[in-house]
Amino acid sequence: EEGEIEIFPGENTFIWAHGLSNVLGYHSARDVVQLNLSSGSSEKVVAANKSAWLAHGVMAFLAWGVFVPFAVQSSLLRDLLPKGPIWFQLHRGFNSLAYVFFIVIFSIAVAFTVKEGGSHFTNPHQRMGLAMFIMAFFQVGGGWLRPHVPDDGEEKSLLRKVWEIGHRVVGVTLLACGFWQMQEGVALYANKYGVSASGQEKLSIAYWVWIGVMSALIVLGGGYFKLKKMPNN
């Protein structure tokens, strides 16, 4: 049939997988094996480009799981930092570093998808990555071209107020999308390279513990200092 992968008497590549129950989900174990149907010999096949996709994942975690949360925290928890512009320098520095990493991450994904003969932006992870890349471009550009901060005693302009709201909304959206995107990436990597279900589960637990801590610092810490600055407090 058209598009059929032919099986030869000699060496053939097979993919095997099995689950632990009848519940729909990722297979608990999977791998690739090369089997010679003439001699009966077999050997495990190492999937291609593993280092590139691992680098993609590690850099994504650093960008969206470390640098961006630190950037948000440096703004919301600025009262814990020395007086002066240091909070802004940290905020801008972490965000800029995350954006540089994101460009590299996106480039790796596009380049190795082409190399592997895959399709672009066909699954949720790919489409979310593209949407985030576009949002991040405008977020960073808006940060550099932001309306000026009013001087002491000067009222904020309408443009400044609108920009601040938009900057926060897009920032929170990007951060939430980044958290989801990384978890999806872990599942895709595990499925592609035969990571065991227990190994994937341990990594997911560690990931969400870290994300929980980062989120708590942002929500609880930021909320505390906002309340503290209210007139009645």
pLDDT of residue 17: 78
Q: pTM for the complete prediction?
A: 0.81
| Side chain identity, residue 156 | K
Low-confidence spans in the chain with pLDDT less than 50: none
Cβ neighbours for 94, distance < 8 A, ≥ 6 positions apart = 67, 68, 70, 71, 74
Nearest residue to 103 (alpha-carbon basis) of 59, 138, 50: 59
Compute CA distances 79 → 3, 94, 230, whole Å. Answer: 63, 18, 14
Q: What confidence tens digit (pLDDT) does each residue in 3-41 have?
A: 677 787 888 777 777 776 777 766 666 667 777 877 777
pLDDT of residue 47: 67
pLDDT of residue 117: 85
